[in-house]
Amino acid sequence: MLDVVVSRAALPKSGALVLAVPEGGVAQAIGWAGLDAATGGAVGRALEVAEFQGRKGQTALLLAPGAGLSRLVAVGLGKPGDLTPLTAEEAGGQAIAHLAREEKVAIAPAPHAARIALGAVLRSYRFDRYRTTEKPEEKPRLARLTLLAEDAGSVEAEWAALRPLADGVYLTRDLVSEPPNVLTPAELARRCEALTALGLKVEVFGPKEMAKLGFGALLGVAQGSVNEPRMVVMQWHGAGKGKKGNGKPLAFVGKGVTFDTGGISIKPAAGMEDMKWDMAGAGAVIGLMAALAGRRAKVDAVGLVGLVENMPSGSAQRPGDVVKTYSGQTVEVINTDAEGRLVLADVLWYCQKQFEPRFMIDLATLTGAMIISLGHEIGGFFSNDDDLARRLHAAGEASGERLWRMPLGDAYDKQIKSDIADMKNVGGRPGGAITAAQFIQRFVNGKPWAHLDIAGMAWAVKDSALAAKGATAYGVRLLDRLVADHYEG
Ligand code: BES
Ligand code: MN
Ligand code: ZN
């Protein structure tokens, strides 16, 4: 991660400079610290030619504008009355996208300075682990971001509070980007164990422990792979005694299929490599727990992830198999590619039984049907609780990780009736994301619950303001916002 420092507000003598400018604030921005005068009026003239007015999303890049600066980026913050932390983050992301070849970047004093930095840090994430022959002129040079501020102390404190969130997003993106030969269930569990350094309590369950508990659904998915399954339980105790929640934690549950071939109901070859990110739900839960612990959030929370590899082999589960879930309910496995719901069924049941949480939110790259519904713009969610649903929707708008509520209902539940077991694991093509949610709801025992189908959101094929293409870590900022706005203190 690039280094972020806060420093006294003076015109830098070299490197690149970012001006984050509210609409109508251009004159004031170029007058800051005598910038326009120091460049002989070049900055003002260039921004006029560029018709830069500070509108939201507007950017202007100036090369060698004078005064020793190598580049200057002006980025619009939009109307001052509409300015939100998210707008500032997006401005930071948009600005830094022009500055990868700079080593040092300074940001002139601006509102929400730490949010601008967060955006810049998030946008400059890159997964570099396996590039060994890249030429120096192709590599980003960016190493240090300096926030120039009059009130350096308060900006520093704001950044210190946000940095763990950036760390959590980076962790999730690393996990989701890792290739599936490296990130097996056991390796992913080891990466979770490393989080004890942040003060999380981490427990790992292997196949023997899960067999003893009776996790027939999760183990059925895992049985075709030579890579053993794991379940990881991460606990964060930050509420203190006698505080909100009466000792009951918030619970987050993630689907962690480290590779999904489909199993015996095997997927087509084209694009199958995408299924390395079928653990993005688990990845988001892990990054969220790291963020909460990193910022010492005043809340009790548990994160549970079910980690399996879905492979075809002589030992793989067959279409037609009936498995007994930890809840006692039986499932006829019609399609071995509908494996995520089988994994979540056992982990959700364990979660309720063990923790009696205030709510359970699960995240899963669960269905292609969800991508057909909402594309890659908005995540779909399902909930049995209107208050939780409202809060989630609001957290989505505030964080920019948007959500849209989808329906549940008996008519959909009928689609997963089985002739020989309590249910089957698929409900046909119509409403495929909804019948998947109905399946999961059968493993929710009355608790407030929400299911986030993030299949369309976990991986991006094009750059956006806060993420270069690749793993997005969708869900981490969303749920950190939800916790911060309603459940802390
Ligand atoms: N992991 C997939 C869903 C998925 C597909 C996520 C594409 C991201 C991109 C899931 O396990 C799956 O295979 N679902 C099936 C369910 C079907 C067999 C009922 C699907 O959506 O096709
Ligand atoms: Mn599948
Ligand atoms: Zn899957």
Q: How many angstroms is it from 128 CA to the middle of ligand 3? A: 26
Task: Read off the pLDDT of each residue in 377-393 and give the average, rounded to a whole number.
Answer: 98
DSSP summary character for residue 50: T
Is the separation of the CB atoms in 219 and 343 below 8 Å? Answer: no
Strand positions, DSSP E, 199-313: 201-205, 230-237, 250-260, 300-310
Of 431, 428, 430, 433, whose CA–CA distance to 416 is shortest?
A: 428
Indicate the burial class of 407 (C-beta count within 10 angstroms; 0-12, 13-18, 19 or more). Answer: exposed
How many CA atoms does the CB half-sphere of 239 hold within 13 Å? 19
pLDDT of residue 385: 98
pLDDT of residue 327: 98
Of 28, 25, 27, 29, whose CA–CA distance to 17 is shortest?
A: 29
The chain-wide mean pLDDT, for the chain, equals 97
Q: How many angstroms is it from 368 CA to the middle of ligand 3? A: 9
Is the separation of the CB atoms in 284 and 292 below 8 Å? Answer: no
Is the separation of the CB atoms in 148 and 117 below 8 Å? Answer: no
3-state class (DSSP) for residue 470: strand
For residue 302 the two structure tokens come to 């548990």
**Cβ neighbours around 190 below 10 Å, total:** 14
DSSP summary character for residue 462: S
Alpha carbon of residue 37 to chain centroid: 43
Q: Is 331 left (phi over 0), alpha (psi -120 to 50) or beta?
A: beta
**Region(s) of the chain under CATH 3.40.630.10:** 165-486
Whose Cα sits closest to atom 5 in ligand 1?
A: 368
Task: Read off the pLDDT of each residue in 324-328 and give the average, rounded to a whole number.
Answer: 99
pLDDT of residue 243: 62
CA R_g for the chain: 24
Instruction: Tell me whether residue 71 is one of the annotated catalytic residues.
Output: no
Q: Which of 278, 310, 434 to mutate to test the pocket of ligand 1 (most atoms within 8 A of CB)?
A: 278
Ligand nearest to the CA of 261: 2
3-state class (DSSP) for residue 488: coil
What contacts 290, CB < 8 A, 6 or more positions away? 164, 167, 168, 171, 195, 198, 200
Catalytic residue among 55, 243, 244, 267: 267
Catalytic residue among 163, 341, 358, 391: 341
In degrees and rounded to multiples of 5, residue 339 shows phi and psi of -90, -25
Q: How many angstroms is it from 36 CA to the middle of ligand 3? A: 55
Is the separation of the CB atoms in 175 and 459 below 8 Å? Answer: no
pLDDT of residue 241: 78
For residue 113 the two structure tokens come to 């300075």
Ligand 1 within 6 A of 333 CB? Answer: no
For residue 31 the two structure tokens come to 């007058």
Ligand nearest to the CA of 366: 1
Ligand nearest to the CA of 426: 1
3-state class (DSSP) for residue 219: helix
Which atom of ligand 1 lies closest to the CA of 429? 19
DSSP secondary structure string for all residues of 156-181: HHHHHHHHHHHHHHHHHHHHHHS-TT
Spatial distance between the Cα atoms of 276 and 255, rounded to a whole number of angstroms:
12
Residue-wise pLDDT for 59-87, tens only, equals 999 999 999 999 999 999 999 999 999 99
Confidence band of 489 (pLDDT split at 50, 70, 90): confident
Longest CA pairwise span in the chain (Å): 82
Q: How many angstroms is it from 260 CA to the middle of ligand 2? A: 6
Instruction: Tell me whether residue 267 is one of the annotated catalytic residues.
Output: yes
Is the separation of the CB atoms in 466 and 93 below 8 Å? Answer: yes
Instruction: Write down the number of H helices and E strands in the chain.
Output: 16, 19
pLDDT of residue 441: 98
Ligand 1 within 6 A of 337 CB? Answer: yes
**Region(s) of the chain under CATH 3.40.220.10:** 3-150
Spatial distance between the Cα atoms of 388 and 401, rounded to a whole number of angstroms:
16
Q: How many angstroms is it from 270 CA to the middle of ligand 3? A: 16
Q: Which of 337, 412, 439, 451 to mutate to test the pocket of ligand 1 (most atoms within 8 A of CB)?
A: 337
In degrees and rounded to multiples of 5, residue 42 shows phi and psi of -65, -40
Quick one: what percent of the chain has pLDDT higher than 90? Answer: 97
CATH number among 3.40.640.10, 3.40.220.10, 3.30.465.10, 2.60.40.1250, domain 3-150: 3.40.220.10
Ligand 1 within 6 A of 369 CB? Answer: yes
Q: How many angstroms is it from 405 CA to the middle of ligand 3? A: 21
Whose Cα sits closest to atom 3 in ligand 1?
A: 367
Residue-wise pLDDT for 357-374, tens only, equals 999 999 999 999 999 999
Task: Read off the pLDDT of each residue in 444-471 and give the average, rounded to a whole number.
Answer: 98
Containing H/E element for 196?
A: none
Residue with tokens 């910022």: 295
Spatial distance between the Cα atoms of 218 and 254, rounded to a whole number of angstroms:
13
Residue-wise pLDDT for 113-161, tens only, equals 999 999 999 999 999 999 999 998 889 999 999 999 999 999 999 999 9
The residue type found at 120 is A
The CATH number given to 165-486 is 3.40.630.10
Residue-wise pLDDT for 232-272, tens only, equals 999 999 998 766 667 899 999 999 999 999 999 999 999 99
**Cβ neighbours around 192 below 10 Å, total:** 27
Ligand 1 within 6 A of 338 CB? Answer: yes
Cα angle vertex 207, ends 201, 212, to 5°? 90
Ligand 1 within 6 A of 453 CB? Answer: no
Whose Cα sits closest to atom 16 in ligand 1?
A: 338
Q: Torsion angle of alpha carbons 448, 284, 207, 327, nearest 10°?
A: 10
Which atom of ligand 1 lies closest to the CA of 368? 21
Quick one: what percent of the chain has pLDDT higher than 70? Answer: 99
Which atom of ligand 1 lies closest to the CA of 435? 19
Ligand 1 within 6 A of 432 CB? Answer: yes
